Amino acid sequence: MNLYRKYGFANTGDMLRDAYERHYAIPSCNYITMEQINAIGDAVIANNSPVIIMLAPKHYHQFEIQLVVRMAQAMVERVREAGCESPIALHLDHGMSFEDCKTAIDHGFSSVMIDGSRLPLEENIRLTRNVVDYAHLYNVTVEGEIGSLSGTEGFSSEDSEHKYTDPAEAEQFVRESHVDCIAISVGTVHGLNKSQEGSTGTSPKIRFDLVEKIQQRIPQIPLVLHGCSSLPGKYIDMINKYAGNLGPAVGIPDESLIQASRTAVCKINIASDGWLPSTAITRKVLAEHPDLIDSCLYRKEIRKELMPIYQHKMDIFQSTKKGGYKKTESTPASIV
């Protein structure tokens, strides 16, 4: 038995193939706290939606990898006890080295992302192929990245340079690395300002013409979008009202994500839309209750606030009621 099956996690490759065939995208949600993962589980039960839960190496190093895996396992068990059979995968977000990915695989993750996008193409292919060769021994799915998103990512303080994905490079990357799915750069941006022009008054535009060209080059390969939070202004305002200091945010409009989910985009990553409400509510409750020492009050409020946010993602990604599919235990498909 694959280790991730022991913990109740689904094969990510199976999930992505179903999304590809049925034209929807799977919400891929970062977590690290119990209220975040509980809210994701609440939304899965309510919407009967598949979901990919994920965290970056920074977080599994901070909280110990055994703990975050068991948190995910407990969530899966609660969903099953509620009678919901929607598949749930555990994914490593932005592994930056072979060692990051190996650690995740060895501890029960069902998929890993190896981010070699900062490297020259040939080095990115080499690094990704090394991870693929190890991961496929355990039927673990691998996500690579070609092109790079600008903005600051949740695990890094560095602002990366934006580079759109070149369709010809994407084809070479998939063919030579044997990767199972790829994150592409087509206009989304990490961080709190997703407008590449730097204007807080202009909505970012996804290059759907580029998505189509990439899909034509690598048919049957699921595509992934990072940096897709909507960043509701009310949470920015709440944070700033209670002693925060955030500038205006520009998120990705729902209409763009609805359109993306109808393409070969099968996995859409959401991180900031979980962090922002959590921070905003924590600040508000602590400000209103300056004598509070028990975190239970704001944790309870965060869970209630996050559940409908995740449900909304499932609705616009069209994954609601897509919880059932034919499960297989085959090696993830790649272009060879």
Catalytic (active-site) positions: 93
The candidate with the shortest Cα–Cα distance to 52, out of 207, 222, 254, is 222
Q: Nearest-5° angle of CA 123, CA 27, CA 37? A: 105
Long-range CB contacts (within 8 A, 24+) of 291-296: none
H-only helix segments in 136-253: 167-177, 208-217, 233-241
Q: Exposed, middle or buried by CB within 10 Å (0-12, 13-18, 19+), for 333?
A: middle
Q: Exposed, middle or buried by CB within 10 Å (0-12, 13-18, 19+), for 124?
A: buried
Task: Give CA separation, 158 vs 155, 191, 270, in Å.
Answer: 9, 11, 19
The candidate with the shortest Cα–Cα distance to 275, out of 154, 136, 173, 115, is 154
Tokens standing for residue 52: 């990919």
